[in-house]
């Protein structure tokens, strides 16, 4: 049974509530924290027609102003926004506050990018048969509508990464946020409208993906589908999308590689951060820790100490670094995978306790690549330690995965660093950083089952959201 099928079986149903709305549940209490509308297929079609018919008159300056105003409003309301993210996702307030800082960065980078024009001028008298002309390139918004579909793990920042580049490039975007965390998306849309964004440039449709997903992907008004989420849905979207652009940012199984020369305290601190921040629910969370066998025990002892010091519990308690995972079904799935790894010979070093959707940060060693815990993406606060004997073996272990998103490397040796940078089959290699390190501006994205190689990050997203037109003239 696939990860997704198992989760759906554990959850029992996709979307609860009456036929017009569905409830949003706080994973830490099991109580409803709000509700959102269940859009019908007709409403999806209306939204897409409305977006398609609209042509934005906004200048670059006006778009930048809207994004800057939104960033200012967000900083005034940062606490309210963080509380909302925490309420619907179970992420700790510490994580949610960090997310708000990232959203603000996305807005400010978007404002700067809205002002810059990457058009180029090419001379044509370059060869023997050249002419006295120029070719000029320019980027235009898409003719059709952009549909964005986002996951639950960063309820506001994932949305910001979709919509801000769309605003910067004068597009129209229709968003379907995760049904688990729709409230942050709706809140963010209101913030943008208040900052002056014409609503036709950004519409949010909440509801049951089984009901509205297909219309969003196949409607003729849609020119681009940009999806962030799991591999299974991503590949289904790729099949259904047909002759239209797709940007797919999918799952990960990112390694942190700790070589024999590494400073072990520094490496263990990175391993803990990479595994437990955002409750381990980042596409680029550390999901496998590959440690040289000669230092594995000394490293693991330090990792256990860092893990036992990692505070977790009530997400609203400011002292807790970590809250819950997204729901009890996800926590039970992770618990079962840890049990299975232990039954197959892995050794539990600490953690592995569950209360509802709350999981203790967990360290296991003697983990082998074929165990489901590391073979599949395990989206939660678990540090599985595996060993390698040589750099060749470490590279082979990473590349054997079907995923290829990001990686972190702990070594001082330049010859090893260059080998990792060149030979790891991933989108990013971070030396002395967690795989998740990036800025909101810079290119980000994976290969293999982690994505089709398109990048996100504000600059790259603008490229994906625009068509490059050239015109030529005598000069
Ligand atoms: P998911 O694939 O279950 O859902 C993602 C989105 O797809 C949700 O909005 C969901 O409602 C929607 N969806 C579900 N069925 C659909 C259908 N038939 N048609 C259209 N849309 C449909 O993912 P999730 O559990 O919300 O998020 C976790 C996953 O996202 C992890 O695998 C994680 O690695 C991945 N992720 C990737 C990146 C990246 O940039 N590569 C970033 C964050 C998360």
Q: Which residues are within 8 A (CB) of 395 and not within 5 positions of it... i.e. 6 or more apart?
A: 419, 420, 423, 424
Q: How far, in Å, is the centroid of ligand 1 from the Cα of 275? A: 20
| Ramachandran bin of 435, using left for φ above 0, alpha for ψ from -120 to 50, beta for the remaining angles | alpha
- At 453 the pLDDT is 85
* DSSP, residue by residue, 361-407: -EEEES--TTSHHHHS---SSEEEEEEESSHHHHHHHHHTSSEES--
Annotated catalytic residue, options 99, 113, 259, 283: 283
Quickly count: other Cβ atoms within 10 Å of residue 392's Cβ.
11
Annotated catalytic residue, options 113, 249, 433, 440: 249
Task: Give the C-alpha separation, 457 to 465, whole Å.
Answer: 12
- Domains along the chain? 3-250+452-472 (3.40.605.10), 255-439 (3.40.309.10)
Token duo for residue 419: 């080998």
Low-confidence ranges of the chain (pLDDT < 50): 7, 11-18
What atom of ligand 1 comes closest to residue 178's alpha carbon?
9
Token duo for residue 244: 């239209």
pLDDT in tens, 146-166: 999 999 999 999 999 999 999
What atom of ligand 1 comes closest to residue 151's alpha carbon?
26
Q: How far, in Å, is the centroid of ligand 1 from the Cα of 330? A: 14
Instruction: Report the predicted TM-score, pTM, of the whole model to 2 decimal places.
Output: 0.95
Active site residue 283: yes
Which residue has the CA at smallest separation from atom 21 of ligand 1?
213
- At 5 the pLDDT is 58
Which residue has the CA at smallest separation from atom 11 of ligand 1?
178
| Residue given tokens 């590959």 in the structure block | 290
Active site residue 350: no
Task: Give the C-alpha separation, 251 to 229, whole Å.
Answer: 7
Which of 225, 233, 448 is the pocket-test mutation for ligand 1 (most atoms within 8 Å of CB)? 233
CA angle 279, 280, 283 (to 5 degrees): 130
Q: Is 450 exposed, middle or buried (0-12, 13-18, 19+ CB in 10 A)?
A: buried
Q: Give the single-character DSSP code of 129.
A: T
């Amino acid at each position: 049974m696939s990860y997704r099928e198992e989760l759906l079986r554990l959850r029992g149903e996709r979307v609860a509530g009456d036929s017009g709305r569905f409830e949003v549940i706080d994973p830490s209490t099991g109580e409803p924290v709000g509700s959102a509308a269940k859009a019908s297929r007709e409403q999806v079609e209306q939204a897409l027609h409305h977006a398609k018919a609209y042509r934005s008159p906004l200048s670059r300056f006006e778009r930048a102003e809207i994004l800057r105003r939104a960033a200012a409003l967000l900083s005034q309301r940062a606490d309210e926004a963080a509380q909302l993210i925490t309420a619907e996702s179970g992420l700790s307030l510490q994580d949610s506050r960090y997310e708000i800082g990232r959203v603000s960065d996305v807005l400010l980078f978007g404002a700067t990018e809205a002002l810059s024009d990457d058009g180029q001028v090419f001379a044509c008298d370059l060869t023997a048969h050249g002419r006295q002309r120029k070719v000029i390139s320019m980027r235009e918004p898409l003719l059709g509508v952009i549909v964005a579909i986002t996951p639950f793990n960063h309820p506001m920042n994932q949305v910001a990464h979709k919509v801000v580049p769309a605003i910067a490039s004068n597009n129209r975007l229709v968003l379907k946020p995760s049904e688990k965390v729709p409230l942050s998306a709706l809140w963010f849309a209101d913030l943008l409208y208040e900052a002056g964004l014409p609503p036709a440039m950004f519409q949010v449709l909440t509801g049951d993906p089984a009901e509205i997903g297909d219309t969003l992907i196949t409607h003729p008004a849609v020119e681009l589908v940009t999806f962030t989420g799991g591999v299974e849905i991503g590949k289904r979207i790729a099949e259904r999308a047909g002759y239209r652009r797709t940007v797919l940012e999918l799952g990960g199984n990112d390694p942190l590689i700790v070589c024999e020369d590494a400073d072990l305290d520094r490496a263990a601190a990175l391993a803990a951060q990479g595994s437990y921040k955002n409750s381990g629910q980042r596409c680029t969370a550390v999901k496998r820790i590959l440690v040289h066998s000669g230092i594995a025990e000394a490293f693991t002892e330090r990792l256990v100490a860092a893990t036992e010091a990692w505070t977790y519990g009530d997400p609203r308690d400011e002292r807790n670094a970590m809250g819950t995972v997204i729901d009890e079904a996800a926590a039970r799935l992770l618990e079962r995978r840890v049990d299975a790894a232990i039954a197959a010979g892995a050794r539990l070093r600490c953690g592995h306790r569950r209360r509802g959707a709350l999981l203790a940060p967990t360290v296991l060693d003697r983990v082998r690549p074929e165990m489901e815990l590391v073979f599949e993406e395990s989206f939660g606060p678990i540090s599985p330690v595996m060993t390698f004997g040589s750099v060749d073996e470490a590279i082979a272990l990473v590349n054997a995965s079907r995923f290829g998103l990001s990686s972190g490397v702990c070594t001082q040796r330049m010859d090893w660093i260059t080998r990792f940078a060149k030979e790891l089959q991933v989108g990013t290699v971070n030396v002395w950083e967690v795989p998740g390190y990036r800025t909101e501006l810079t290119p980000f994205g994976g290969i293999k089952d982690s994505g089709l190689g398109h990048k996100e990050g504000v600059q790259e997203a603008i490229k994906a959201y625009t068509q490059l037109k050239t015109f030529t003239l005598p000069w």
